[in-house]
Structure 1
Amino acid sequence: MSGMFCFQCEQAAGGTGCSGSGHGTCGKSAEASRLQDLLLRLAERLARQMVDRSSSSESFDRMILNALLATMTNVDFDPDHLEALCRRMGSACSRPLPASREDLLEMAERCGVESERQNTGCEMANRLSFLLFAIKGAAAYYHHAVELGYCDPEISRYFRHALAYLVHPDLKPSEMINLSLECGRNTLKILALLDKARNEVFGSPEPTEVAVTPTAGKAILVTGHDLRLLREVLIATEGTGINVYTHGELLPAHSYPKLRAFPHLVGNYGGSWHEQQTEFAAFPGPVLVTTNCMMPPRDEYHERLFTAGAVRYPDVSHLEAGEYGALACVASSEPGFPLTVTPPRKILVGFGHHALEAILPRIVELMRDGQIRRLFLIGGCDGAKTVRDYYTTLAEIIPQDCLILTLACGKFRFNRQEFGTIDGIPRLLDLGQCSDAHTAIVAIRRLAELMHTDVNSLPLSIILSWYEQKAVSILLALFSLGVRNIRLGPGMPAFFSEDMKALLAQGYRLRPITTPEADLAEALSNSPL
């Protein structure tokens, strides 16, 4: 096996891609990477067959959805599981696969980006990767909705047709933009469906103070994005006397009434996903990883780490439905948190679109009265690079007469700071997970209605951070609404071809971040670009 090539996330080595026979920056092995490439090609083949036959199948659609999720950054690191997925997909699309792993990997070598570059050229391969990664991001959000029982046949049809196109593409840059905007429009539909699902299943988010200091007692930590799996853990551990904490992107779970109703959901522990190796080692109980954001575990906590859902890691115990009670058994044998005299501390979350829409008219009044000068939407993924301190500094230096809207794990760069209020309205409004981008979109459009203007004329600056494929689908969703003048950091994706960069800069004024001070000064000057 010659090795891997992967450039789908912001950690791409050298800003170009992870390669070689070892491991990628994320910890994924070359073997796992190659099997992911093969799995995607088989999924595209199955989609092509379904489109050609004008057929549909819920089981095949789910198989394709699972394949897209399994190949995302920080989800499935397990070659054995990936091989099993490949063999099931091969059977579904009637593609015979070699019996041995070695021969399977040899076949997989012909399925990656490097092979595509040889066949179609570097620019075309990058365009196709851009579209594929956006499709993956949209699929991750749709997977959450499907798991809650909310499906849309038209969305499944979109995934089939989008993947089928990748089998025999002939993309010019302008055509690529159109296909990307189609992905953005479908992402909008998916985000709205997921919002509907979560609001109906868990209740509408409400502004809620969440403890970020521990409570004495035995403890379980749940990280990731999956509210459904968190609920399963809460049900399985109810009445055991064991406390459950959220971590990372599960922080907003506390704002959902039907989750907050569990008294043993006591708080949030730690910060962003990339700090997990230190934080999990210090946590005095078992840890469950529910969705992407898995990192290679350290020895200190390897034996008390569990995965669920699509997440897999070699030699880490995987829990299926009905097995979450095992977490309580492990928690009982771990020390838990001791009694302390540390003053309790809380942070405010839960500004879903219902809560936000209730205060938007007052925000508009304060803007017209001159008490609020500007809104800043600082959202997106977090990561380990120190250049991301940009977002911390930016939030800190934004003037006191401005509001900050935030969502996704990038907020952990500043969400424990005190920002105060303007006429009783918190200056920092936490809208939720990255999957709650629907809330931000609803709020922006409603704000434009109330101010009798268009989205791009609002006193609003959008500064986003990206890390993986979901951020790409959100970016395209915003473009599909005509949103312009977005700043993106910490750098442009490695899979952006030069012609795509030029088109996005010209058509949507997408620009990289520079320095917090310079970008803030430009935003406040409100000067034409």
Structure 2
Amino acid sequence: MFCNQCEQTAKGIGCDKIGVCGKQPDVAVLQDLLTYAIQGLSLVAHEGRKVGVKDNKIDHFTAEAIFSCLTNVDFDPARFEALIDKTVELRDGLKEKVKAAGGNVSFDSDAATFTPAGSFDGKIKQGEDLDFINSLDDNEDLRSLKEISLYGLRGLAAYTDHAAILGQQDDLVYDYMHETMAKLTRKDLGLEELVGTALKCGEVNIKAMELLDAGNTGTYGHPTPTEVPLGHKAGKAILISGHDLRDLELLLKQTEGKGINIYTHGEMLPCHGYPELKKYDHFYGHFGSAWQNQHKEFPEFPGAILFTTNCIQKPRDNYAANVFTTGLVGWPGLVHIGADKDFTPVINRALELPGFTSDEDKGSVLAGFGRNAVLGVADKVIEAVKSKDIRHFFLVGGCDGAKPGRNYYTEFVEKVPQDCVVLTLACGKFRFFDKKLGDIGGIPRLLDVGQCNDSYSAIQIAAALANAFDCTVNDLPLSMVLSWYEQKAVVILLSLLHLGIKDIRLGPSLPAFITPNVLNVLVENFNIMPIAETPQEDLDAILAA
């Protein structure tokens, strides 16, 4: 196996024995083989679009299949084996329709005619022989750019799938997805065109995030500032982690009147701000802190645990019996809730477990500062900047992870001067989300914009402030200090670069799949830079500018 798509990758180069995330070699090669099969499907789908042949079910399946290869989503080899077979079945059926419509069905790439082996071991051998990453291009710089687009596509597919679940889709997104998966089979593309393809991924992702934002806010209302308890109260309990708002809604509905309190973990924290979710009386609080502490936290939770979207890491034996998954998430041996979304197994397990036997107050945190909430007090923010009560804004957010060095972000926020405001989003905030930073004229100094899925809100806030001050985003007293871990962070970064945003600080380490020459392109065009050795160095440099 070889995998270098996440920040944790072994030795800063790539995992070749077993994934640092826990991914086994058989899963890694099956993900490669699935990606290759999707390229074949996309070759046909892209040609089909030229002769008016489209299939929305195939488009959404493609997004789901690409998404399933994102770090920490699905590690069940049996499911990947089925996805590979399904991809080729769909490809061949679509090929007949495209041919009947007069379209081209002859391609240079073998991906278009790939036939999966009939056995599990046969597919493993095919994946090993493929050596997918190295097969992308012989030139390491061109291969690096193709990887950027591929990993960006995995993040884009995640947002696209989230939006589709809530009824929000756009052919523009699927068009790009198929076109780019097909393009990555070509060996005649130069550096300039591949840079453009990567930035286009960022542009299309803005549309996908807009669709997701419309799905979330259109279904559940715009988030409002909400105090979220960090303690617990006596009673049976279910902990829900991940990103999927619809799964949370269905769980809340199915647990009404059953004496079970619902707690969030990780990126589900911002859900407490949505009016249509927080109306449920048994939707209580947030349990747990940072990503890296999950295996310490989960055995302490005396109820059932439901993972949506991201499973993070394989549950350990001492609490695995209490863990359930939904959507694309899967580990061998865990109970998976199917498409019918019947959470009865989760509910029954929660009723069997002891739950919390007493109340405990651990304080609270403030969530729910989506774009409507922030822009609703934009006049106060603008006046505070003009009066110099607010000197600078810092967007400190992104992914969390277990690799050393992420305490930088905790220290950074702690050292931010009292006349500055910190906006945050995504799971990176769990390094500092419970810090009490106070306020400036009634404006909280720590504003939680939401999940990584809510990056559209952060972009809209920055754009609105730039418009109010009649300047570009780069001219605002705003600095972005981002942490990354997986592929949603990659595509968000591409979105920011597409928008021309410069001077982004990225850490705790730079992607292993970016070669020195490609990094130079990013530095020369966007002045992207690694975080400094200490937060104070970066703060001094930013505030002195």
Place the TM-score, normalised by the shorter chain, in its bin: over 0.9
Aligned match of 2:465 in 447, 463, 468? 447
The answer to whether the Cα contact below 8 Å between 2:74 and 2:311 also exists between their aligned partners in 1 is: no
Distance 1:306 1:112 in 2: 33
> Does the residue aligned with 2:501 lie in a helix, a strand or coil?
coil
Deviation at 1:293, TM superposition (A): 4.2
| 1:17 counterpart = 2:36 | no
1:64 corresponds in structure 2 to 62
- Contact between 2:263 and 2:287, CA under 8 Å: does it hold in 1? yes
Q: Does 1:86 align with 2:104?
A: no
Q: Does 1:98 align with 2:126?
A: no
Q: Is the CA contact 1:73–1:293 (under 8 Å) kept in the aligned structure 2? A: no
**Greater than 3 Å deviation, 4+ residue runs:** 110-115
Residues 168/373 of structure 1: CA separation in 2 closer, same or farther (3 Å cut): same
What amino acid is the match of 2:350? A
Query: By how many angstroms is 1:356 displaced?
Result: 0.8
- 2:428/2:483 contact within 8 Å kept: yes
| Per-residue deviation, 1:380 | 0.3
Once structures 1 and 2 are overlaid, which stretch shifts more, 270-279 or 347-356? 270-279
Does the alignment pair 1:187 with 2:184? no
Paired residue type of 1:280 = F
Report the Cα distance in structure 2 between the residues aligned to 1:344 and 1:281, rounded to whole angstroms.
18
Give the CA deviation at 1:96. Answer: 2.6
Q: Which amino acid aligns with 1:137?
A: G
1:51 aligned residue: 46
Matches within 5 A, 1:236-247: 236-247=254-265
Amino acid at match of 2:415: I
Residue 477 (structure 1) aligns with: 495
Q: Does 1:335 align with 2:361?
A: no
Aligned to 1:413: 431
CA–CA separation in structure 1 for the residues paired with 2:30 and 2:362: 47
Distance 1:414 1:389 in 2: 9
**Alpha-carbon separation, structure 1, partners of 2:237 and 2:414:** 33
Cα deviation for residue 52 of structure 1 reads: 2.1
Q: Deviations over 1:310-355 (max 9, x none)?
A: 0010001101224202212111111111214x43511101011111
In the other structure, the counterpart of 2:364 is: 346
Structure 1 equivalent of residue 307 of structure 2:
289
Amino acid at match of 1:46: L
Instruction: Provide the residue aligned with 1:525 in structure 2.
Output: 544
Counterpart residue identity of residue 5, structure 2: Q
Say yes or no: does 1:318 pair with 2:336.
yes
* Contact 1:273–1:293 (Cα < 8 Å) also in 2: no
Range 271-280 or range 130-139, more displaced? 271-280
Tell me how far apart the structure 2 counterparts of residues 316 and 289 of structure 1 sit (CA, whole Å): 11
For residue 112 of structure 1, report the CA deviation from its aligned partner.
Answer: 3.5
Q: Following the alignment from structure 1 to structure 2, what is the Cα–Cα distance between the partners of residues 90 and 481?
A: 37
CA offsets 1:361-396 (integer angstroms, 9 cap, x no match): 211111111111111110100111230100000000
2:26 counterpart residue number: 31
What letter corresponds to residue 27 of structure 1 in structure 2?
A: G
Residues 428 and 37 of structure 1, relative CA distance in 2, 3 Å threshold: same
Q: 1:76 to 1:301 in 2, by over 3 A?
A: same
Counterpart-to-counterpart distance in 1, 2:185 and 2:406: 37
Q: TM-score, normalised by structure 2?
A: 0.93
Counterparts of residues 351-390 of structure 1 (less than 5 Å): 351-390=369-408
Write the mapping of 1:131-280 to structure 2, written as runs, cut at 5 A: 131-280=149-298
String of CA shifts for 1:151-207, please: whole Å, max 9, x gaps: 111211111111111121433222222111111110111111111111110011001
Identify the match of residue 2 of structure 2 among 1, 5, 10: 5
* Contact 1:207/1:349 (8 A) holds in 2: yes
Distance 1:14 1:226, change over 3 A: same
Residue matched to 1:500: 518
Counterpart for residue 95 of structure 2: none
Q: For the Cα contact (< 8 Å) 1:431–1:440, is it kept in 2?
A: yes
Q: 2:450 aligns with which of 424, 432, 446?
A: 432
Contact 1:294 1:311 in 2 (8 A): no
> Residues 246-268 of structure 1, C-alpha deviation per residue, up to 9 Å, x if partnerless?
10000000000000011111001
* TM-score, length of structure 1 as denominator length: 0.96
Tell me which moved more, 261-270 or 287-296.
287-296
Q: Percent identity?
A: 41
Cα distance in structure 2, aligned partners of 1:61 and 1:439: 26
Alignment of 1:448-463 (within 5 A): 448-463=466-481
SS in 2 for 1:219: strand
Q: Distance in 1 between matches of 2:207 and 2:326?
A: 26
Shift of 1:12: 0.6
The answer to whether the 8 A contact 1:128-1:166 is kept is yes
2:395 alignment partner, SS class: strand
Supply the AA of the counterpart residue of 2:83. Answer: L
Q: 1:313 to 1:362 in 2, by over 3 A?
A: same
Q: Deviations over 1:124-162 (max 9, x none)?
A: 222211110001101101110000111111211111111
The CA deviation at 1:115 is 3.9
Is the 1:18–1:24 Cα contact (8 Å) retained in structure 2? yes
Provide the rounded CA distance (Å) in 1 between the counterparts of 2:162 and 2:14. 29
Distance verdict in 2 for CA 1:53–1:370, change over 3 Å: closer
- 2:166–2:215 CA contact under 8 A, matched in 1: yes
Q: Counterpart in 2 of 1:422?
A: 440
Which letter maps to 1:89?
T
8 Å CA contact 1:237–1:325 kept in 2: the answer is: no
State the Cα distance separating 1:114 from its structure 2 match: 4.8
